[in-house]
Amino acid sequence: MQPDCLSAEGEGRCRRLLAGATARLRARPAAAAVLVPLCSVRGVPALLYTLRSSRLSGSHKGDVSFPGGKCDPTDQDVVHTALRETHEELGLSVPEEHVWGILRPVQDRQKAKVVPVLAGVGPLDPQSLRPNPEEVDEVFALPLAHLSQAQNQGYTHFCRRGHFSYTLPVFLHGPHRVWGLTAVITEFTLQLLVPGAYQPRLASSAGP
**CATH number, domain with residue 133:** 3.90.79.10
pLDDT in tens, 166-191: 688 999 999 999 999 999 999 999 99
3-state SS of the chain? CCHHHHCHHHHHHHHHHHHHHHHHHCCCCCCEEEEEEEEEECCEEEEEEEEECCCCCCCCCCCEECCEEECCCCCCCHHHHHHHHHHHHHCCCCCHHHEEEECCCEECCCCCEEEEEEEEEEECCHHHCCCCCCCEEEEEEEEHHHHHCHHHEEEEEEEECCEEEEEEEEECCCCCCECHHHHHHHHHHHHHHCCCCCCCCCCCCCCC
CA atoms of 91 and 128, how far apart (whole Å): 10
pLDDT number for residue 1: 46
**In-domain check, residue 182:** no
Q: Is residue 169 in a domain?
A: no
Answer for the pair 41, 142: CB distance below 8 angstroms, yes or no. no
Higher per-residue confidence, 193 vs 161:
193
What Rg do the C-alpha atoms of the chain give, in angstroms? 16
pLDDT for 164 beyond 70: no
The Cα 185–Cα 13 span in angstroms is 19
152 in a domain, yes or no?
A: no
- Is 158 part of any domain? no
Q: Which residues form the domain of 113?
A: 8-143
Q: Return the percentage of the chain with pLDDT > 70, whole number.
A: 88
Domain assignment present for 154? no
pLDDT reported for residue 2: 47
> How sure is the predictor about 204, in pLDDT bands with cuts at 50, 70 and 90?
very low
Looking at residues 56-67, what average pLDDT do you find? Answer: 73
Out of 26-35, 171-180, 192-201, least confident range: 192-201
- Please check whether residue 151 lies inside any domain of the structure: no
What's this model's pTM, rounded to 2 decimal places?
0.91
For residue 42, is it within any domain? yes
78 inside domain: yes
Does the pLDDT value for residue 72 go beyond 50?
yes
Where is pLDDT greater, at 172 or 60? 172
Total domains present in the chain: 1
According to DSSP, the β-strands at 113-123 and 32-41 are parallel
